[in-house]
Amino acid sequence: MSNWRSALIAATVGGLILLAGFLIERAPDDGTTPPTSPDSASEAVLACPAALMPACAALAAELGTTVRSYLAGSDPGPGTVVIAPAGDIPAELETGEVAARSPIAIAVWQDREGVLKTHCGGTVDLTCLSSAFGESWRDLGGLESWGDFKLGLADAAASEAGLAAWRALASSGVPAELDAALRLTSADDAELMADLLLFGTARADAVVTTEVAIAGQLQNAPGRGGRLVVWYPDPAPWVTYVVATSGGKGTDDLIADLLDGDLQSKLGTFGLRPARSEAAGLPEGLGVPGIALPDLDETKRATLLDAWNGLR
C-alpha cells in the first residue's frame, strides 16, 4: 500500500480514537471533575483491528476508556484488552471468551450486481463469482466499457479475516482464472473496503470479505461510485473475535464489561454479530448470513495458505 494511502487510513482511524477520547475526558464547563462510574474499566485500554474500530470506539467511550488499533500478531503490552481473531493473537497473550463474530459476505457494486444476477440465474454466490473469473463484462451481459470482471480480496496470509475470505473461495481448490480476475489485494479487510471505495470499479467489481468491514463502508459507497449490494455464501466461514490480554490493572473488569449483555446488544449497529444473541439494529443493506462452517484444522489451513502464496 502506498505511503499516502496508509497516512489517509491512519488519519481516519486516528480521528475516531481522538473523538472517543474527547467525549470521555472532556471536563464540564463549570470546571468540576466528571463523576466516575463504579463499573468503569478506565484503568485498562482496548485494542481492536481496523474493521472493528467504529464498534470499539463506541464501546470504549461508554466504558470510560480509550481504544487503539491492533495489528495482527502484535503484543499490545500490559493493561490492554484485545478483541481480535484467536489466530491473530500471539501465544504470550491469554485468550478468553468469544466477544463477537462476523460472517464472510460478498459485496458487489449495484450496476454489476444486476448483470451478475441475470447471468447466474438470480443468485450472486461464490459459484456465480467463479463463473465470472476470466470473463469480460460484455460476455457476461454487461457493458464493453466495464472491461473484464475484477475481484478484490484481503491478504490471506496477513490475518484471519483474509484467510476466511480465501477459504470461502478456495476451500475446494483455486477456481480457474482467479489469478486473472484478482485485481485488488489489500493488507486486511478494512483496508480492502477502503480501497474498494477509493478506486471503485477500476480495480474491483466485487469483493469477498467480512460483513463487519462491508458494514463500515455501506453508507460511504453512494458518494464514491454507487451503492453496494451484499450477498451471503451459505454455508460460509465466520470470523470469531475473542478477548485476550497480557494482564494488568483493570483488564478483568474491562473484559467482564465487554461481555455484558447490554453492551453485546449494541454490536449489531456496527454490523458486528454478538457472541451470545441475535444481532439487533444492523445497518440497512445487511441480511441473513450463511450457516457457519466448522473451524479450520491445521492441515487445511496450511493447504489454503500454500494455495494463496502460489498466486503471488
**Count of structural domains within the chain:** 2
Residues 95 and 152 in one domain: no
Give the pLDDT confidence of 179-230 residue by residue, as tens digits.
999 999 999 999 999 999 999 999 999 999 999 999 999 999 998 879 999 9
**Residue 282, domain member (yes or no):** no
110-114, long-range: CB < 8 A, 24+ apart: 110/226, 110/227, 110/228, 110/229, 111/142, 111/226, 112/137, 112/142, 112/146, 112/201, 112/205, 112/206, 113/206, 113/229, 113/231
Residues 292-311 have pLDDT tens digits of 999 999 999 999 999 999 98
Measured CA angle at 196 (ends 218, 58), to 5 deg: 45
In a domain, residue 279? The reply is no
Contact 210, 239 (CB under 8 A): yes
pTM of the model: 0.86
Cβ 276 vs Cβ 71: under 8 Å: no
C-alpha cell belonging to residue 289: 448470513
Whether residues 193 and 70 share a domain: the answer is no
What is the rounded CA–CA span in Å between residue 106 and residue 98? Answer: 24
Residue-number span of the structural domain to which 86 is assigned? 3-31+38-101+240-274
Residues 15 and 82 in one domain: yes
- Report the C-alpha gap between 274 and 277 in whole angstroms: 6
